């Protein structure tokens, strides 16, 4: 496998990792807040309807997906540089 294809796979794996991490964070936050809405909608609903909350969910889902992918992509590029280009080994003592 060439260095370019290793780099592509490495960065793609980090991108997928970023998407998975944001998915878990999204699920935790959404589960928590939906619990609050179901407990006392008049208090936590800000006067909005369920349709408005669904729209907010759709918009934030897209934003979080893009942010997770971007964060994963950036982390992949950073760690590729640190480990394979600069040859830093963080797990060994010098």
Q: Write out pLDDT tens, residues 52-67.
A: 999 999 999 999 999 9
Q: Write out pLDDT tens, residues 9-39.
A: 999 999 999 999 999 999 999 999 999 999 9
CA distances from 47 to 15, 28, 30, 71, 83 (A): 37, 23, 18, 34, 51
Total-model pTM: 0.83
Residue 60: predicted pLDDT: 95
Helix (H, G, I), strand (E, B) or coil at 52: helix
Query: Using CA atoms, how far apart are residues 68 and 15, in angstroms rounded to an integer?
Result: 8
């Amino acid at each position: 496998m060439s260095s370019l294809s290793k780099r592509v796979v490495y960065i793609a794996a980090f991108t997928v990792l970023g998407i998975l991490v944001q998915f878990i964070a999204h699920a935790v936050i959404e589960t928590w807040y939906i619990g609050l809405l179901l407990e006392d909608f008049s208090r936590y609903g800000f006067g909005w309807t369920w349709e408005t909350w669904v729209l907010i969910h759709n918009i934030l889902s897209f934003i979080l997906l893009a942010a997770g992918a971007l964060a994963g992509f950036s982390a992949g590029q950073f760690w590729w540089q640190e480990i394979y280009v600069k040859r830093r080994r963080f797990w060994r003592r010098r």
